[in-house]
Chains A and B, each alone.
Chain A
Amino acid sequence: MNAPDRTPHPSSVALPARELAVSARRVSVVYPSVEAPVHALSEIDLAIAPGEFVSLIGPSGCGKTTFLRVIADLEPITSGTVEVNGMSPHEARLARAYGYVFQAPALFPWRTVLANVMLPLQIQGREPAECKAVAMEQLGRVGLAGFEKAYPWQLSGGMQQRVSIARALGFEPRLLMMDEPFGALDEITRDRLNEQLNQLWRRDKRTVVFVTHSIAEAAYLSTRIVVMSPRPGRILKQITSPLPDERHLGMRDSPEFVAVAHELRQALAVGSRTDG
């Protein structure tokens, strides 16, 4: 048996909980069931400092998406405490402290690309002119200037997901959560979007919590990778990336990258062995 590595990330140890972007302590989510209760998350301890890019990786059923949903106040916890920017997830949601990118783009088909990006700003009650200006700027940042009048179904899957990222970034959230945003895309598109995402992250140094089941994606994007394992959902290991913040696709052949990917693969293999 390999004991799960629970050492917190070095950069987040020093910070008091108030200043952490996300702080989770002994968080459990249990779904009641007739036979035996399902432990979707079991005693998760995790601290994420502002500006980190943290990936959650693991096989399906390991609770990575559940954990993201807990932070986003989309899922209630059974026990433990979670704080987002020093608030409860519920308060953080009401304060619109985070942006959330789902697995599917979830664009509204009756709105143009521009109007889709404007949606959260309109909900915040901002001036129409301001909404439009911000949305145009965000669309430009994800490389979709010129597509603002198109409708979602006129765009490819990769472009649709970029629109949803622009939408999530529109109100400048300090925390961005992404739940396998590129899972449904082909690998070539995915590589390009990963490169763009790295640029976006470096530009503002927003905290990103990223769920993926791709080793390459996690190693390429993250400053820290949290490996999880199922039944019960728990943290197995955390790996801090030695790569510099600025990344490009060619780095994937560098010894550092290969070492990170190797370590990840081993941790995941251990996880699946204990899983039985």
Chain B
Amino acid sequence: MADDSRRLLPVAIVLAGAVVLWYLGAVFLNAPGAIERVLAPKGPYSNTELVIATWSMERPVLPAPHQVAIDLWHSLVDWPLDSPRNLLYHAAVTAQSTLVGFVLGTLLGVVLAAAIVHSRTLDRALLPWIVASQTVPVLAIAPIVLVILGSLGFAGIAPKAAIAMYLCFFPVTVAMVQGLRSPQRIDTELMHTYAATRMQAFWMLRMPAALPFLFPSLRVAIAAGLVGAMVAELPTGAQAGLGARLLTGSYYGNTIGIWSALVLSALLGLGLTAAVAGVERLVLGPRSFR
């Protein structure tokens, strides 16, 4: 318990600091609008009234934390889970394409890394392209992928998962190439003296040796995959997903709605990363104590 509180205290202090700054920022940024649209028409106003007004505007430049919290709460509680007005529904849609893309991207990354490690030709042929693929901005590639997959009859989750996968596979490939090459010469020679086949050496030596490299990359990958899935939701005119909510929010100047979607996407990202960390602890087990 003492250990928990020691870990939670710094987090709580940073959070409190951020909230204070947020409220101050809301006053500063919303004051001109509040004066012009709310207070000035009514006549003279006090400083207290100004502050309260900046924290309770309908379309603030920067909504106050409690406004976002209330909006989020209402969206979660007031509507059934399958309603498009419930943000959890959108979070689930985004999480689904993120996870599908993450699983496919991880598989692709591991397969690519295994191919690169086992073939010098592939090492030279593939690696430059893999690196180059990541220099293309995802914002540019997303509409292209959506149009092409759409014309082939893939709609819904597939194009979004494809873009999430596009962002996921890269960190996994790079980490796994390093991980699969991490066994020392003495370890590979040991397998050699046992006349182990390449398959046996891969599954009994290279793969387990690579796992400590894989998991940190998975945490990066799932966060990147979430970004990819949300970006993919922007140009589709998709009706569902946190990305779509961000877009509709900005169309209608619903800043509070944008912030709610933003906060929920951050929470979703934290949740997904925590899930990966949990799997890591389960898989690596006693190794993580080293």
Contact = CB atoms under 8 A, between A and B. Distances in A.
A98 B193 CA distance: 8
Contacts of B287: 109-110, 151
B194 A108 contact: no
A17 B3 CA distance: 69
Given A108-B205, A109-B290, A110-B287, A120 B194 contact: yes
A96, A104, A106, most chain B CB atoms within 10 A:
A106
A78 B103 CA distance: 50
Contacts of B286: 151
Contacts of A98: 193
B279 to A, nearest CB: 16
B186 A102 contact: yes
A98 B190 CA distance: 12
Nearest to B200: A123
Interface residues of B, number: 21
Interface string B268-290: 00000000000000001011001
Contacts of B211: 110
A100 interface: yes
A51 B286 CA distance: 41
B192 A74 contact: yes
A153 interface: yes
Contact of B193 (A72, A124, A151, A153): A72
Nearest to B184: A106
Interface string B245-261: 00000000000000000
Interface residues of A, number: 25
B49 interface: no
A197 interface: no
B204 interface: yes
B196 interface: yes
A258 to B, nearest CB: 36
Contacts of B195: 93-96, 123
Contact of B204 (A74, A100, A106, A122): A122
Contacts of A153: 290
Q: What is the interface of chain B mostly: helix, strand, loop, or mixed?
A: helix
Contacts of A124: 194
Contacts of A38: none
A216 interface: no
B189 interface: yes
B58 interface: no
Contacts of B191: 123
Interface in A123-164: 123-124, 151, 153
B285 to A, nearest CB: 9
B59 to A, nearest CB: 56
Interface string B205-231: 100110100000000000000000000
Nearest to A125: B200
B192 A119 contact: no
A123 B187 contact: no
Contacts of A120: 194
A119 B204 contact: yes
Given A94-B195, A96-B194, A108-B205, A74 B189 contact: yes
A106 B194 contact: no
Nearest to B189: A74
A111 B208 CA distance: 9
Contact of B187 (A74, A100, A108, A151): A108
Given A108-B208, A109-B287, A102 B196 contact: no
A148 to B, nearest CB: 14
Nearest to B190: A106
A120 B196 CA distance: 8
Interface string A27-67: 00000000000000000000000000000000000000000
Contacts of A110: 208-209, 211, 284, 287
Given A122-B204, A153-B290, A106 B186 contact: yes
Given A110-B284, A110-B287, A123-B191, 18 more contacts: A72-B193, A73-B192, A74-B189, A74-B193, A93-B193, A94-B195, A95-B195, A96-B194, A96-B195, A100-B190, A100-B193, A106-B187, A110-B208, A110-B209, A120-B194, A123-B200, A124-B194, A153-B290
11 contacts: A73-B193, A74-B189, A93-B192, A93-B195, A96-B194, A108-B205, A108-B208, A110-B209, A110-B284, A119-B194, A123-B200
Interface of B: 184, 186-187, 189-196, 200, 204-205, 208-209, 211, 284, 286-287, 290
